[in-house]
């Protein structure tokens, strides 16, 4: 298990409280249009639909993502160094299920967690394996292990379900207002200004809260990854590489310095702020993970064989 310093505990507690507040805000924004449409019954039905949708989404989306990405299962003999790394990360994170690593042939620099801590794994792209050193990749993998450990895929799935349902309910309200427009113009029905404000702002507010939740979970995963690896510099270096790669399209659109206001519309926090928080946190007492790999930690990992895509039929049948 990773060693948590008092500063790390405070940061994790702060992020946890922020998560609860944001989820509460999403539920409140959803509850208002549900209540306006059908009273208490509408409120209960809306929240029940969120729970049902979140449970259903944990069974399907991970495999859909893997199928769309053309992913293949990277076996242990094909990437022994990465699996030894994951074995240590899983053990420190308290995950009992054997690690699974998936490979996608994309040249983009990306990694993502799929599924849950009981039935999930981590997918990495060809571009990431080619560009990052083993030390940097350890930080990225630890970040994704943290997402699995804390069930972030389920949390974000529930938030996305709330946002979609809020949009649906406000659309129904808009149609209802249009149908009542002749009555409003004839003076038979008073114009509900409060209802109009809900219809106008609820979808945008729900989307902003969902993005804020995503940024919050990224901060938490960064700190947890540092506790798992004992190496904030490794993850910070990887974040710098990813920022230089992914920031190019923003520079192309907006020039050298993208507008600061775009930070509110990002799923991930600003990279410089993530690096600042990593370097400000106290390093745990256990030795850095990359120390076990010697000189090999400063070069990309060796992949003996790249797997081919499994195909959509494999992912649909696989459980």
Give yes or no for a contact between 217 and 19, defined as CB atoms under 8 angstroms apart: yes
Distance CA 63, CA 72 (A): 11
> What does the buried/exposed string (b/e) look like for 172-181 if buried means 16 or more CB atoms within 10 Å of the residue's CB?
ebeeebeeee
* Burial zone of 73 (CB within 10 Å; 0-12 exposed, 13-18 middle, 19+ buried): middle
- How far from the centroid of its chain's Cα atoms is residue 235's Cα? 17
Other CB atoms within 10 A of residue 235 CB: 28
Indicate if 144 belongs to the active site: yes
Please give the backbone phi and psi of residue 98, each rounded to the nearest 5 degrees, phi first: -60, 140
Out of 136, 144, 218, 233, pick the active-site residue: 144
Distance CA 182, CA 188 (A): 9
- How far from the centroid of its chain's Cα atoms is residue 192's Cα? 38
Distance CA 11, CA 250 (A): 30
Question: Would you name the residues annotated as active-site residues?
Answer: 144
């Amino acid at each position: 298990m990773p060693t948590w310093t008092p500063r790390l505990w405070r940061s994790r507690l702060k992020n946890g409280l922020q998560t609860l507040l944001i989820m509460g805000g999403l539920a409140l924004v959803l509850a208002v249009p549900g209540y306006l449409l059908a009273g208490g019954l509408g409120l209960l039905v809306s929240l029940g639909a969120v729970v049902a949708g979140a449970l259903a989404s944990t069974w399907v989306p991970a495999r859909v993502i893997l199928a769309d990405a053309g992913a293949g299962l990277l076996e242990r003999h094909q990437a022994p160094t990465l699996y030894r790394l994951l074995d240590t990360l899983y053990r420190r994170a308290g995950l009992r299920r054997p690690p699974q690593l998936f490979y996608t042939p994309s040249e983009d620099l990306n990694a993502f967690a799929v599924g849950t801590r009981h039935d999930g794994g981590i997918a990495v792209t060809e571009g990431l394996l080619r560009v990052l050193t083993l030390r940097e990749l350890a930080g990225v993998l630890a970040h994704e292990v943290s997402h699995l450990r804390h069930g972030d895929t389920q949390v974000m799935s529930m938030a996305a379900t709330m946002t979609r349902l809020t949009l649906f309910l406000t659309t129904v309200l808009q149609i209802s207002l249009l149908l009542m427009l002749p009555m409003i113009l004839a003076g038979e029905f008073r114009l509900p200004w409060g209802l109009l404000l809900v219809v106008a702002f609820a979808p945008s507010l729900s989307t902003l809260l969902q993005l804020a939740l995503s940024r919050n979970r990224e901060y938490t995963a960064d700190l947890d990854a540092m506790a798992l690896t004992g190496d904030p510099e490794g993850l910070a270096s990887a974040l710098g590489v990813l920022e230089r790669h992914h920031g190019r399209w923003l520079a192309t659109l907006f020039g050298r310095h993208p507008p600061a206001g775009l930070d509110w519309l990002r799923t991930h926090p600003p990279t410089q702020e993530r690096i600042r928080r990593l370097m400000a946190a106290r390093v745990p007492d256990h030795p850095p993970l990359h120390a076990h790999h010697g000189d090999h930690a400063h070069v990309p990992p060796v992949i003996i064989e790249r797997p081919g895509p499994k195909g959509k039929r494999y992912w649909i049948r696989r459980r």
